[in-house]
Chains A and B, each alone.
Chain A
Amino acid sequence: MKKNLNKILNEINIKADWIGIREVREITTYRSVRDGNPKANDRHLTHGILIEVLYNGQFGYYGTNKFDSKSIQNAASSALKQAKLASKWSLCSFDKDVRPKSVGKFSSYRENNNEISSDILNDILMKTNESIKVSDKIVSASSFFKIVETDINFVSSSGSEFSQDFLLMSIDFSATAQDGNIIQSRSANGRLAQSYQAGYEVFDEQALLNKAQIVGEQAVELLTAEECPTKKTNLVLAPDQMMLQIHESIGHPLEMDRILGDERNYAGWSFVRLKDFGNLKYGSDLLNVTFDPSLEGEFASYKFDDSGDVAKKEYLIKDGILLRGLGGVESQRRSKIEGVANFRSSSWNRSPIDRMANLNIEPGDSTFDEIIASVEDGVYMESNRSWSIDDYRNKFQFGCEYGKLIENGKLTKTIRNPNYRAISTPFWNSLKMVGNKDTFEYFGTPHCGKGEPNQAIRVGHASPVCFFENIDVFGGA
Chain B
Amino acid sequence: MKDNFFYICDEIMKKRNEDEDFILSFSGEKSQYIRFNNAKVRQTGCVDDANLYINFIKNNRSCKFSLSFQGDHSNDLNNVLNCIEMMRNEINNLPKDPYIVRPDSSKSICEINDGNILSRDQVIDSVLPIIQGVDFTGIWASGPIYRGSANSNGQRNWFETNSYSLDYSLITPNEKMVKGTYAGSDWNQEKFNHHFENKKKQCQIMNENSKKISPGNYRTYLAPAAVADLIGMLSWGGISEASIRQGNSALCKMRENDISLSSKLNISEDFRSGLVPRFNSNGEISEKCIELFTNGKLKNTLICSRTAKEYNCNSNFAEDGEYLRTPKLSAGQLKEAEMLSHLNEGLYLSNLHYLNWSDRIGGRITGMTRYACFWVENGKIVSPIENMRFDDSIYNFFGDQLDGISDTVEYIPEVGTYDGRQPGGIMAPGIIIDNFNLTL
Residues of A within 8 A of B (CB): 33, 37-38, 40-48, 52, 58-68, 75, 78-79, 81-83, 85-86, 89-92, 117-119, 122, 126, 139-140, 176-178, 181, 183, 185, 260-262, 264-266, 268-269, 349-351, 353, 386-392, 395, 397, 399, 417, 419, 421, 423, 449, 452-456, 476-477
- Whether A264 contacts B169 by the Cβ 8 Å rule is yes
Question: Is B234 among interface residues, defined by CB-CB distance under 8 A?
Answer: no
B353 at the interface (CB under 8 A from A): yes
Apart from the given pairs A119-B93, A391-B370, 12 other A-B contacts in the complex at a CB distance below 8 Å: A45-B66, A61-B44, A61-B46, A62-B47, A63-B47, A65-B50, A89-B40, A90-B41, A91-B38, A119-B94, A387-B356, A388-B354
Known contacts A139-B246, A477-B362; is A351 also within 8 Å of B45 by CB? yes
Chain B contact-residue range equals 35 or more
Closest to B357 in A: A386
Q: Which residues of A contact B124 (CB under 8 A)?
A: 85-86, 89
| Interface of chain B residues 111 through 153 with chain A (CB within 8 A) | 120-121, 124-125, 128, 137-139, 141
Instruction: Tell me whether A46 and B356 are in contact (CB under 8 A).
Output: no
Q: Determine whether B287 belongs to the interface, using a CB cutoff of 8 Å to chain A.
A: no
B63:A41 contact, CB within 8 angstroms: yes
List residues of chain A with CB within 8 A of the CB of B361. 183, 476-477
> In the complex, A395 Cα to B213 Cα: how many Å?
14
Cross-chain pairs A/B with CB under 8 angstroms, 20 sampled: A37-B99, A38-B61, A40-B64, A45-B83, A60-B45, A61-B46, A63-B45, A89-B41, A118-B90, A183-B247, A261-B171, A265-B167, A349-B47, A387-B356, A397-B366, A397-B389, A452-B33, A452-B139, A453-B33, A454-B416
Within 8 Å of chain A (Cβ to Cβ): is B168? yes
Most buried by B among A66, A119, A265, A449: A265
Bound CA span A176–B237, Å: 13
- Using a CB–CB cutoff of 8 Å, the interface residues on chain B facing chain A are 31-38, 40-51, 61-72, 83, 86, 90, 93-99, 120-121, 124-125, 128, 137-139, 141, 167-169, 171, 175, 177, 179, 246-248, 252-253, 256-257, 353-364, 366-368, 370, 387-389, 391, 393, 416-418, 421, 439-440
| Contact between chains at B94 and A41 (CB < 8 Å) | yes
Looking at the complex, which one of A59, A64, A81 makes contact with B121 (CB distance below 8 Å)? A81
Q: Across the interface, do B354 and A391 meet the contact criterion of CB distance under 8 Å?
A: yes
In the bound complex, what is the Cα–Cα distance between A45 and B79 (angstroms)? 10
- A390 & B354 in contact (Cβ 8 Å cutoff): yes
Would A477 and B47 be within 8 Å (CB), given that A46-B68, A139-B247, A419-B358 are in contact? no
Residues of A within 8 Å of B359, CB to CB, are 386, 399, 417, 419, 476-477
Determine whether the beta carbon of A45 is less than 8 Å from that of B94: no
Are B44 and A86 within 8 A (Cβ)?
yes
Give bound CA distance, A264 to B42, whole Å: 13
Residues of A within 8 A of B175 (CB): 269
User: Does B38 lie within 8 Å of A261, measured CB to CB?
Assistant: yes
**Contact call B72/A45, Cβ cutoff below 8 A:** no
Q: Are B169 and A41 in contact (CB under 8 A)?
A: no
The answer for the CA separation of A397 and B389 in the assembled complex, in Å, is 9
Most buried by A among B125, B370, B389: B389
Quote the shortest CB–CB distance from B170 to chain A (angstroms).
10
> Is the beta-carbon distance between B66 and A37 smaller than 8 angstroms?
no
Within 8 Å by CB of A58, from B31, B41, B357, lies B41
Identify which of A176, A268, A353 contacts B353 (C-beta below 8 A).
Answer: A268
Secondary structure call for the B interface = strand
Contact A43 B44 (CB under 8 A): no
Among all A-B residue pairs, the 7 with the closest Cβ atoms = A477-B362, A61-B45, A452-B139, A91-B40, A119-B93, A140-B246, A453-B417
- A261 and B137 CA atoms in complex are apart in Å by 8
Q: Which of A43, A122, A264, A421 interacts with B439 by CB under 8 Å?
A: A421
Q: A261-B37, A351-B45 are in contact. Are A386 and B358 (CB under 8 A)?
A: yes
Residues on the B chain within 8 Å of A183, using CB: 247, 252, 361
Contacting residue for A122 out of B41, B69, B94, CB 8 A:
B94
CA distance A126 to B93 in the complex (A): 14
A48 to B416, CA, bound (A): 21
CA distance A40 to B38 in the complex (A): 45
Bound form: Cα–Cα A34–B61 in Å: 15
Bound complex: CA A183 to CA B169 (Å): 40
B155 to chain A, nearest CB (A): 22
Are A45 and B67 in contact, CB atoms less than 8 angstroms apart? yes
Taken together as a complex, chains A and B put the C-alpha atoms of A183 and B246 apart, in Å, by: 10
Known contacts A176-B247, A456-B418; decide if A43 and B65 are in contact (CB<8 Å).
yes
Residue of B with least CB distance to A44:
B66
Instruction: Point out the residues of chain A lying under 8 angstroms from B141, CB to CB.
Output: 453
B72 adjacent to A66 (CB under 8 Å): yes
- Once the chains bind, are A264 and B99 in contact (CB under 8 Å)? no
A47 → B minimal CB distance (Å): 5
Q: Determine how close the nearest CB of chain B comes to the CB of A398; give it in whole angstroms.
A: 9
Q: How far is the CA of A140 from the CA of B96 in the complex (A)?
A: 19
Q: Are B70 and A66 in contact (CB under 8 A)?
A: yes
Contact between B37 and A91 (Cβ–Cβ < 8 Å)?
Answer: yes
Residue contact B37 to A262, C-beta cutoff 8 Å? yes
The smallest C-beta distance from A70 to any residue of chain B, in angstroms, reads 11
Residues of A within 8 A of B63 (CB): 41-43
> Residue on B with the closest CB to A52?
B45
Could you say which residues of chain B place their CB within 8 Å of the CB of A392? 387
Closest residue on chain A to residue B32 by CB atoms = A82
Which B residues lie within 8 Å of A42 (CB)? 63-66
List B contacts of A38 (CB < 8 A). 61, 94-97
Min CB–CB distance A142 → chain B (angstroms): 9
